[in-house]
Structure 1
Amino acid sequence: MSKKLISSGSDFEKLAGYSRAVVEHGLVHVSGTTGFNYDAMTIDADLIDQTHQIFKNIEAALKQAGAGLDDVVRVHYLITDASYFEQVAPIFGQYFVNARPAATAMVVGLIDPRMKIEIEVTARLPNLN
């Protein structure tokens, strides 16, 4: 199986030399994804809105790969303030109600101060046994 690269269309991917997602050996590796709306290249200041936008962005990448949120097996949550976790944890549960992936949450500094959260996932292609 050859490697497949998936792009969101962001110019930053080319500049920084990465892909939104990479599909290889039956797995979909989705890069750390922030709350940017890639169509408008804007980011909402609200943590909750950023989190929902992240899941839209991740779903779009997974769909291009032939997978969905229910196929996610691993997730890393990167938040810029520990107090945010209580606010966003129920949102994680909403999107991963079926997948229930292995998860890690970390408090980190992100590149752009407007970013409050970043999420990275790994999914398994559903057509593989």
Structure 2
Amino acid sequence: MDTIAREPSSLFPPYRGYVHALEVAGSTRLLFISGLNGFEQDGRTMPESFEEQAELIWRHIGAILESAGMGVRNLVSLRTYLADPQYDDANGRIRAERLAGHRVASTVVCCRLLEPAWKLEVEAIAAA
């Protein structure tokens, strides 16, 4: 699989490690990961802090990618829903750590989530 960042000079420069668009060439498989939240394996409990929920979600993403024979480098798109804009800096930092320099198309939306305990929800697309 080849990816090509599409960064037209007529657009503003991308920031925080994302690309305006990412073309996937030669892909034979696409993996669409539903919005994940910070539930523990029991499906009932979740950590209280944003950071703990975010780390758990990234572990969930990693497990799903691994089950498909993929890794973080296969991610091409992320959509993150934050319950509060105050979490934006922590979200950006954790995402950058997990992506380790890998750039993806990305959107962050601040909105009310289904459950008050949820601090964020993340969905992703991977290609191989």
The TM-score normalised by the length of structure 1 is 0.74
The alignment-based identity, stated in percent, is 28
| 1:119 corresponds to 2:122 | yes
What stretches of structure 1 move > 2 A for 4+ residues in a row? none
**How many residues were matched structurally?**
101
Inter-partner Cα distance in structure 2 for 1:27 and 1:44? 30
2:82 alignment partner AA: I
Structure 2's unaligned 5+ residue stretches are 1-27
| Alignment RMSD | 1.3
The TM-score normalised by the length of structure 2 is 0.74
Contact persistence 1:73–1:99 (CA under 8 A): no
| CA deviation string 1:50-71 (max 9, x = no partner) | 0000000111111111111111
Which structure carries more relative contact order (alpha carbon 8 Å, separation 6+)? 2
Structure-2 residue corresponding to 1:54: 57
Inter-partner Cα distance in structure 1 for 2:97 and 2:71? 14
Structure of higher CA gyration radius: 2
Structure 1's unaligned 5+ residue stretches are 1-24
| CA deviation string 1:17-75 (max 9, x = no partner) | xxxxxxxx511100001111124631011000000000001111111111111110000
Inter-partner Cα distance in structure 1 for 2:58 and 2:42? 15
Inter-partner Cα distance in structure 2 for 1:96 and 1:46? 21
| 1:97 corresponds to 2:95 | no
